[in-house]
Amino acid sequence: MLDIDISKQRGAFSAKVAFTSTTPGVTALFGRSGSGKTTTVHLIAGLLRPDRGHIRIDGTVLFDAALGIDVPVEERGIGYVFQDARLFPHLSVRDNLRYGARRTRGRAQHLQFDDVVALLGLAALLARRPARLSGGERQRVAIGRALLAQPRLLLLDEPLAAIDVARRGELLPYLENLRDQFALPMVYVSHQFEEVLRLAGDVVVLENGAVAGHGDVISMSQSPALRAIIGTESLGAVIEGVIDEVDAVSNLARIRVGAGELLVEAAQLRLGERVRVQLLARDLILSIAPAAGLSVRNSLAGIITRLTTDGERAWLVFVDAGGATLMVRVTDDARSALALVAGQPIWVLVKAVSLRGHVFSASRPAAALPG
């Protein structure tokens, strides 16, 4: 369990952050620039001292103002990956990684050098120096160096912010593998919801130094606190499902979600794999009768649970599709024409093309590292 309850006054900025999340797993700190994300991870790492409160990781107290406990940075067993890799320019990749291994301070060696190199795809880079690496490669080395210090917690402070979009896409699968294979508690800072969606189990939304919302990524995808930050274009419910069928001939996969199913492009999806799907509210269509004679092949039956206004002359319609909650954005005219009300049976139509790039692995680490 990661248990955070801290406050800090820095000039005119006040941070008051409290949340708990299960370990192992990825907890995302999400919010606009200046919301207090980096301040929070600095407080957890010990780079800043809270004015009050406590920081506990799996029963170990790192800070407690009331008890007078403040474990020094170098003794907290926390790995920190910054926006810029901060590698030693005069050292090779191998030696940068070995530097991390030398900072274990007697902690058990759960993460082995060869395993970290294999996980992060660093074998071909070991002889290079940082100047000969791309931005994504440098961040992979920085993550490896932090891992080889055998941390009890890994902090990643917007590790993709300084690299371009293409390199972000290359690095995200490595972070997913890290989440799934090493079962290491992580706090991941970002202002990009796609990164949070792909990696996190829990989401803490920060606004003006305070927690505006906290919960699992599925419930938080429908939170007003999140909607206020990401805006209408990125608004969409997150649901989870299981790959029930993969057809190699048609390159299509069937995802069981709630009481229905979605047909998507297979794109490396595996039979039995648990996946996370983001259904953008703007891409969904409502029908008051079963769909027939349409090219849209994905149709989920459900019941309207509630409706809320969403800006001028627009509504968000929430639909329970057999345990999976969907969110559809419609105009006020459409709501009136269809006479949409809570409790009404409804069919949600999903274009297959709208799912491209919005289906991700939802694997979970099975057990924490020992010790």
Summarize pLDDT for 143-192 with one digit per residue, the tens.
Answer: 999 999 899 999 999 998 888 877 788 888 888 888 888 888 999 999 88
Torsion of CA 56, 58, 59, 60, to 10 degrees: -60
- Same domain, yes or no: 100 and 189: yes
Is 280 part of a structural domain of the chain? Answer: yes
Clarify whether residues 91 and 201 are in a common domain: yes
> Does residue 285 share a domain with residue 208?
no
Query: For residue 371, what pLDDT is reported?
Result: 44
69 and 89: one domain? yes
> What is the rounded distance in angstroms from the CA atom of residue 243 to the CA atom of residue 188?
27
Task: Check whether residue 34 and residue 131 sit in a common domain.
Answer: yes
Cis? peptide before 24, omega within 30° of 0: yes
Give the tens place of pLDDT for each residue, 13-36.
999 999 999 988 999 999 999 999
Question: Do 209 and 289 belong to one domain?
Answer: no
Same domain, yes or no: 212 and 278? no
Total domain count for the chain?
2
Do 200 and 255 share a domain, yes or no? no
Q: Within a domain: residue 190?
A: yes
CATH of the domain at 325: 2.40.50.100
Q: Is position 27 within any domain?
A: yes
d(CA 187, CA 4): 12
Do 10 and 88 sit in the same domain of this protein? yes
CATH number at residue 59: 3.40.50.300
Same domain, 275 and 321: yes
- pLDDT value of position 107: 62
- Tell me the C-alpha distance between 252 and 250, whole Å: 5
97-116 in b/e form (b: 16+ CB < 10 A) is beebbeebeeeeebbebeeb
pLDDT less than 70: residues of the chain: 103-109, 363-371
Question: Which residue, of 228, 250, 281, is where some domain finishes?
Answer: 228
Residue 369 maps to a domain: no
Residue 273 CA to residue 15 CA, distance in Å, equals 40
Same domain, 196 and 135: yes
Domain of residue 80, residue span: 2-228
Question: Where is the domain boundary, 228, 256, 273?
Answer: 228
364 within domain boundaries: no
The pLDDT, as a whole number, for residue 369 is 44
Judge if 261 and 299 occupy the same domain: yes
Reduced to 3 states (helix: H, G, I; strand: E, B; else coil), residue 158 is coil
Distance, in Å, from the CA atom of 232 to the CA atom of 238, rounded to the nearest integer, reads 15
